[in-house]
Amino acid sequence: MKSMKSIIQAVIIILLLVYTHFEAAAEPFFAPQKIEFTKIEYALGIDIHSPEKGDWKPLSQFMGQGIMDHNSLWLLCRIPAKTWEQPGIYIKGYIDGLEVYLEEKKIYEAGKIHLPGSLKPIQIRGIFFKHIIPIPRNRTEDAKNDPVELYLMIPYSHPYDLGPMELLYAGDIRDLIPLAEKDTLDTLRFQVPLFCLGAVLLFTGILLLVLFFIRFNQKYFPFLSFGCFLVASGISYLNLMPVLAAFGFGYRLWFTIEVIASLLIPIGILAFVEQIFVSGLGRILRRLWQVQILVAIAAGIWFLADIIPQLIFLGDLFASVSIVFALISIINSKSSPALSVKASRMALAGIMIFAATACVDVLHELGIIGFGGYYYGLGILGLMVSFGYALADHYSHMVQQAKTAALKLSENKQELASLKQANLKARLEALKNQMNPHFLFNTLGTLMTLIEENQELAVEYIQELSKVYRYLLQTRDRRLVTVAREMAFINSYITLVSMRFKSTLSVHINIPQKKYKESIPPLSLQLLLENALKHNVISKSRPLTIDIFIEDEAYITVRNNLQKKKSLEKSHKIGLNNLENQYKFFTEKNVLVMPSKNFFTVKIPLLTTGPKPHNRLDLVST
């Protein structure tokens, strides 16, 4: 009994295994089947009512020949004859205005044929991303085993409006729906990391650009070049197509942005390397990224003007050349005080990893290797980290150098100010030493004349002269005196000169009492009076009149009637120039010399706040 039971169990197990084997073998027959694009044919400018007249070619040979002469692309898909209960196809791709024909009958038109419930295609502002299309079962018995020929018509106004068709599956509608849902999840799993990478790159790049414009006065251009590189890299990884489609833009704009972004990436790398690393290739790098800027501009004009140069090929070529030259430049870079050895090594490692991942990506795109995908993005991320470290290191060194230079400049300015102040003081002392002998020379000359003409008047003159010279001794160490003190001295001086000229000289003084507290350089009014006496004719027929008054609140005015001597006395050139040089020490205001036809006028500034702050000196008290 036991052996019979064992035999029965073994037979049941064998039957189950055989059944399972046949079920597994039959499953692919009924499961959705992927249609390879190599099995799809294309044609341009055909009529759906006579498709056999079209020039059908394998889609693998599609290179855009003649595409500018037509406005619709036709695809012929042969769907295998299967026993699906609800046959249909699932298409994934940014295809706008798709129409599907079964023989000559239109069975689907995006945006016009709506399917019930969950079978409704996924649509974003007119651009359908996922199409699930049922196939009518109205075939004859004789033709039910023949492949189903579906004609897909994609309209376009420009070749670059043709978006990519990523997947095409045939199968039962009930199986295609979960397949589409699974494909959506797989897409999200693939796109989310890329989106995060793009967001990080874009945010970091924008931050660097903002820093560049905030600190524009520093002219630190590595912020600009590296920021452009990161922004371009971030845009290329953000997959902006769904966003653009949501705002009604087609595939052409996305393709334009992608091409220009890909052209900007090597520009940013080259410009950054040229600005950071000291190398003999600096001039070549600069010319390369400048030429690439022109290529990027031409790419934008290309899409706007429908010109078709091979700019994409040039962009790929420039990218390869840029990486090679940047790598060579970093390897051959000389030691720079603004960049540490560690930063240079990190940058070299980053560019080498980026170059390796770029090669892997190219091989993956060509189908030579089966892996790739994320590697290029990891290379971009590594380049961001390594170049970012080099940027931070270089910028910190530049800031430190700028602070050191600013500190040294400040010390030099302070030293220069001290030297300037000492020089001005020395010059002022020299001017005052010139003033006293000049006054003494003129007074002695007058005394000699008086002794010859009137000895008694000469004695009185000497007495007054002693008073005047006492003032000179009191003010020889002073830079400024009050107006009151100067006017007391001027009154004594006028007494002296009046003894000589008598009624031929008239001096009128009109200074308000409130101005007596302000200051002027000592002997400044005496110098102006002496100047008027020296250069003008004084006689009974031509008396000299001198007025001293306040014409405006900031100046004392000394004016005399003009009657120049024909032969002037020999001048020692220490008059007005001497006075002007004294005032330059104390104020920015100028001594105003205003000759006219009938009068000679000089205005000297009143110094209400004393000398300049760095030259502040004591005043003579009244």
Q: What is the pLDDT of residues 335-362, one digit of tens each?
A: 566 677 788 888 888 888 887 887 777 7
Report the CATH number that the domain containing residue 78 is assigned in CATH. 2.60.120
| 3-state DSSP assignment of residue 49 | coil
Question: 119 pLDDT band (50/70/90 cuts)?
Answer: very low
Q: Do residue 118 and residue 248 come from a single domain? A: no
Q: Average pLDDT in the 234-245 region?
A: 74
Q: Average pLDDT in the 410-421 region?
A: 74
Query: Is residue 507 predicted with pLDDT exceeding 80?
Result: yes
Q: Report the C-alpha gap between 45 and 54 in whole angstroms.
A: 8
Q: Do residue 22 and residue 49 come from a single domain? A: no
User: What's residue 134's pLDDT?
Assistant: 83
Q: Do residue 578 and residue 485 come from a single domain? A: yes
Question: 215 pLDDT band (50/70/90 cuts)?
Answer: confident
Q: Which of 124, 158, 182 is the last residue of a domain?
A: 182
For β-strands 105-109 and 57-58, DSSP reports them as: unpaired
Inside any domain, residue 304: yes
Q: Do residue 139 and residue 122 come from a single domain? A: yes
User: What's residue 29's pLDDT?
Assistant: 45
Inside any domain, residue 65: yes
Inside any domain, residue 411: no
User: What's residue 582's pLDDT?
Assistant: 76
Q: Report the C-alpha gap between 196 and 191 in whole angstroms.
A: 9
- Provide the residue range defining the domain that includes 300: 191-402
Q: Average pLDDT in the 423-441 region?
A: 56
Report the CATH number that the domain containing residue 469 is assigned in CATH. 3.30.565.10
Taking the CA atoms of 471, 472, 473 and 475 in sequence, report the sign of the dihedral they define.
positive
**By the 8 A CB rule, do 472 and 435 touch?**
no
Q: Return the top range by mean pLDDT from 93-102, 251-260, 393-402, 513-522.
A: 513-522
Answer with the residue of higher pLDDT: 562 or 22: 562
**Least confident window among 106-110, 334-338, 424-428, 515-519:** 424-428
User: What's residue 117's pLDDT?
Assistant: 44
Q: Do residue 575 and residue 476 come from a single domain? A: yes
Q: Do residue 158 and residue 287 come from a single domain? A: no
Query: Is residue 179 predicted with pLDDT exceeding 90?
Result: no
**Least confident window among 220-224, 231-235, 390-394, 439-443:** 439-443
Strands ordered across the beta sheet of 480-482:
519-520, 480-482, 619-620
Question: 390 pLDDT band (50/70/90 cuts)?
Answer: confident
Beta bridge partners of residue 34, listed in sequence order:
169
Q: Do residue 464 and residue 612 come from a single domain? A: yes
Number of structural domains (the chain) is 4
Taking the CA atoms of 207, 213, 217 and 220 in sequence, report the sign of the dihedral they define.
positive
Inside any domain, residue 427: no
User: What's residue 614's pLDDT?
Assistant: 37
**Least confident window among 254-268, 440-454, 480-494:** 440-454
Q: Do residue 158 and residue 262 come from a single domain? A: no
Greatest C-alpha distance within the chain:
175
Q: Average pLDDT in the 28-49 region?
A: 76
Q: Average pLDDT in the 378-394 region?
A: 85
Inside any domain, residue 442: no
Question: 111 pLDDT band (50/70/90 cuts)?
Answer: low
What is the tens place of the pLDDT at every residue in 544-603? Answer: 999 999 887 889 999 999 888 876 555 555 567 777 877 877 888 888 998 888 999 999
Q: Report the C-alpha gap between 88 and 176 in whole angstroms.
A: 8
User: What's residue 27's pLDDT?
Assistant: 40
Q: Which of 163, 182, 201 is the last residue of a domain?
A: 182
Q: Report the C-alpha gap between 83 and 282 in whole angstroms.
A: 68
Cβ neighbours of 96 (radius 10 Å): 20
**By the 8 A CB rule, do 431 and 582 touch?**
yes
Q: Average pLDDT in the 170-176 region?
A: 84
User: What's residue 438's pLDDT?
Assistant: 56
Q: Do residue 122 and residue 207 come from a single domain? A: no
Query: Is residue 45 predicted with pLDDT exceeding 80?
Result: no
User: What's residue 499's pLDDT?
Assistant: 76
User: What's residue 51's pLDDT?
Assistant: 56
Answer with the residue of higher pLDDT: 335 or 395: 395
In 3D space, the residue among 156, 169, 177, 183 whose CA is nearest the CA of residue 40 turns out to be 169
Q: How far is CA 141 from the centre of its chain?
A: 73
User: What's residue 21's pLDDT?
Assistant: 42
Inside any domain, residue 291: yes
Inside any domain, residue 439: no
Inside any domain, residue 424: no
Q: pTM score, two decimals?
A: 0.56
Q: Average pLDDT in the 190-211 region?
A: 86
Q: Which of 341, 370, 402 is the last residue of a domain?
A: 402
Q: Do residue 195 and residue 159 come from a single domain? A: no
The one-letter code for the residue type at 249 is F
Answer with the residue of higher pLDDT: 119 or 265: 265
User: What's residue 603's pLDDT?
Assistant: 92
User: What's residue 79's pLDDT?
Assistant: 84
User: What's residue 621's pLDDT?
Assistant: 33
Q: Do residue 265 and residue 354 come from a single domain? A: yes
User: What's residue 28's pLDDT?
Assistant: 42
Q: Do residue 41 and residue 127 come from a single domain? A: yes
- Residues of the chain with pLDDT > 90: what percent? 5
Q: Return the top range by mean pLDDT from 121-130, 304-313, 351-360.
A: 351-360
User: What's residue 112's pLDDT?
Assistant: 60
Q: What integer best gives the mean pLDDT of the chain?
A: 75
Answer with the residue of higher pLDDT: 63 or 189: 189
